[in-house]
Amino acid sequence: MIRMTLAEVAAAVAGTLHPAPHDTPDTVVDGNVDTDSREIRVGDIFVAKPGEVTDGHNFVAGAVASGAVLAIVEQRVEAPVSQIVVAEAVAALSDLARTVVAAVRDRGRLKIIGITGSNGKTTTKNMLARILEGEGETVAPRGSFNNEVGAPLTMLRVGEDTRFLVSEFGASGPGEIARLAGLVTPDVGVVLMVGLAHAGGFGGVEATLKAKTELVQAVRPGGVAVLNRDDARVATMADVAASRGVDVRWFGRGSAADVRAEDVEVTAAGTTCTIVAPEGRWPLRLRVLGEHHVMNALAALTAARELGVALDAAIARLETLEIAERWRMQPMGSERVRIINDAYNASPDSMAAALRTLAQIAGPGERKVAVLGAMSELGELAGEEHDRVGLLAVRLRIERIVVVGRDARRLYLAAIGEGSWDGEAVFFETSDDAFEYLRGELRDGDRVLVKSSNSAGLRHLGDRLGESFS
């Protein structure tokens, strides 16, 4: 965080300052801000956030022992540290982030990029951050820090010399993206796709469209909206951008895109294509597995181009990215048995993309094995969407379909109904049972996809398989 006095922090969060005996309102703080006491280091600021399971106020003393010099709290606690009492800790976190980012923007060359979409946010964020790091100090979220706590925590890592802030905006309901993006009014807003991820929370895909449009509405006038030309719903956001004085740049596979991909080929080593833009053509060799990541790369390249990065330099940096993120199309195991652990998030779109990737990368004589768990937050669409995944797995000629968890049972039944009834599809209640089966079933030449939503916990099964067959 930038240097601020205790009085300035208190004013930013509309709180009441209670300095420790060794501090005054003019005492300066500039450490990291966190809500996790385990992450606190000397000079940091701890925000005591109440939670459903535990209360951050119980950990103030531990944070102080680790070196915290300020605690933002909802009620004073017994601890030898300066405290600022606020009405709501999470709201204070946002208020402080807004103040810090605005101050840095006013003083320097800070450019802010916001990214949203039903799938691909974290991968695109990592791709764009890799590109921009070559231009100057870049702040981007750790993992999927994209909610009402994670997004402000990322913003608060901005310092005086930061050139780029890449913010990832997720949401489980209407209005959340508007609130988060409104903290920083991005210079560039990237919308990847509108699909069924979290559709249950939004109330359907049209409500999801409205929610994702909130990012375009938050882009500052004179800024740029980077939109997916191949997604009909995202394309409708161009009118919203125009009404706000925001320029539009398109990415996609079709000829109408400003930055597009041609000649896409997928192999077990990654994905190759040709990037085409008005200024030229360049080969791109992505190490990240999956044809669907080409669209994420196009989004990152288009955004970088709008920020003044030459496409040839951007492509060279992008080619150094080995994996999108842990548990996202992460290669594990060995050449003998290759495990692809993609079990951090799942939606109908990302399930389909991952299964198609499995079908594409398996060579002659290599067996395709899909280990699948439930997709969460689909609401009333959950049943039919699990059915669709089961049907697709059979139609892609996946030789072994291993379904794990009661919430995914309809996927298994759909595969059986489609004709995968002679041992090709199996069902297990627990990951432990599935692991024991797979440990005995997998053989040389198998290519194994592990895919589910985070809540299904299959990412840990993927890790166990990766270690077992390394």
Confidence of residue 326 (pLDDT cuts 50, 70, 90): confident
Average pLDDT over residues 205-230: 95
For the stretch 267-287, pLDDT in tens is: 888 899 999 999 999 999 999
User: How confident is the model at residue 324, as a pLDDT?
Assistant: 74
Nearest in space to 306 (alpha carbons), one of 108, 116, 112, 151: 112
Q: Backbone phi, then psi, for 322, in 5-degree steps?
A: -90, -40
Confidence of residue 52 (pLDDT cuts 50, 70, 90): confident
pLDDT band at residue 119, thresholds of 50, 70 and 90? confident
Question: Would the pLDDT of 206 be above 70?
Answer: yes
Annotated binding site: 117-123
pLDDT tens column, 177-189: 999 999 999 999 9
**pLDDT for position 405:** 95
State the Cα angle at 207 between 92 and 197, rounded to 5°: 80
Q: Dump the DSSP string for 402-458.
A: EEESGGGHHHHHHHHHTT-TTTTEEEESSHHHHHHHHHHH--TT-EEEEE--GGGTH
- What is the per-residue pLDDT for 265? 93
Collapsing DSSP states into helix, strand and coil, what is residue 86?
A: coil
Cβ neighbourhood burial of 243 (10 Å; 0-12, 13-18, 19+): exposed
User: Is the per-residue pLDDT at 68 higher than 60?
Assistant: yes
Number of alpha carbons in the 13 Å side-chain half-sphere of residue 431: 18
pLDDT confidence bin for 421, thresholds 50/70/90: low
Amino acid type, 313? A
Return phi, psi of residue 263, to 5°: 55, 50
Show the DSSP H helices in 147-198 as ranges.
150-155, 176-182
- Out of 186-200, 307-321, 324-338, 374-388, give the one with best mean pLDDT: 307-321
Q: What is the DSSP code (8-state) at residue 17?
A: E
The overall average pLDDT reported for the chain is: 93
Cα atoms found within 13 Å of the Cα of residue 183, Cβ hemisphere only: 34
Cβ neighbours of 26 (radius 10 Å)? 10
pLDDT in the model for residue 205: 81
**326-340 b/e with 16+ CB inside 10 Å = b?**
ebbbbbbbeeebbbb
Q: What is the structure's pLDDT at 301? A: 98
Sign of the alpha-carbon torsion through 288, 293, 297, 298: positive
Residue 350: name the closest of 406, 392, 320, 381 by CA. 392
b (16+ CB within 10 A) / e for 268-298: bebbbbebbbeeeebebebbbbbbbbbbbbb
Burial class of residue 183 (count of CB atoms within 10 Å of its CB; 0-12, 13-18, 19+): buried
Residue 460: what are its φ and ψ, rounded to 5°? -70, -35
H-state helical runs in 133-175: 150-155
| Distance separating alpha carbons of residues 275 and 264, to the nearest angstrom | 10
> In 3D, which of 169, 162, 12 has the Cα closest to residue 92?
12
**Where in 348-389 does DSSP place strands (E)?**
368-372
Classify residue 435 by its DSSP letter.
H
Query: Which pLDDT value is given to residue 174?
Result: 85
Q: Are 368 and 424 in contact (CB under 8 A)?
A: no
Amino acid at 26: D
Model pLDDT, residue 45: 98
How, if at all, do strands 45-47 and 138-139 pair?
unpaired
pLDDT of residue 420: 63
**Res 47: pLDDT:** 98
pLDDT for 200 equals 54
Model confidence over 328-342: pLDDT tens digits? 889 999 989 999 999
Measured CA to CA, the distance from residue 262 to residue 256 in angstroms comes to 13
Binding-site entries for ATP = 117-123
Per-residue pLDDT, averaged over 430-437, amounts to 96
Q: Is the pLDDT of residue 197 over 70?
A: no
Q: Is residue 24 a contact partner of residue 70, using CB atoms and an 8 Å limit? A: no
pLDDT at 168: 93
pLDDT of residue 202: 56
- Predicted local distance difference test score (pLDDT) of residue 195: 78
pLDDT (mean) for 370-388: 91
- pLDDT above 80 (res 327): no
Identify the band that residue 109 occupies on the pLDDT scale cut at 50, 70 and 90: confident
Q: Could you tell me the domains of the chain? A: 4-88 (3.40.1390.10), 108-318 (3.40.1190.10), 330-468 (3.90.190.20)
Neighbouring-strand partners of residue 224: 188, 247
CB neighbour class for 61 (10 Å; exposed up to 12, middle 13-18, buried from 19): middle
> How high is the pLDDT of residue 199?
55
Q: What is the pTM of this model?
A: 0.88
Residue 373 · residue 404 · CB < 8 Å: yes
- Which residue(s) pair with 270 in the sheet? 267
Q: With 80 as the cut, is the pLDDT of residue 87 above it? A: yes
- Beta carbons of 71 and 79 less than 8 angstroms apart: yes
CA atoms of 414 and 156, how far apart (whole Å): 47
Residue at token pair 């194994």: 448
Report, as an integer, the average pLDDT of 63-91.
97
pLDDT at position 173 is: 76
Name the helix (H) or strand (E) containing 270: strand 270-277
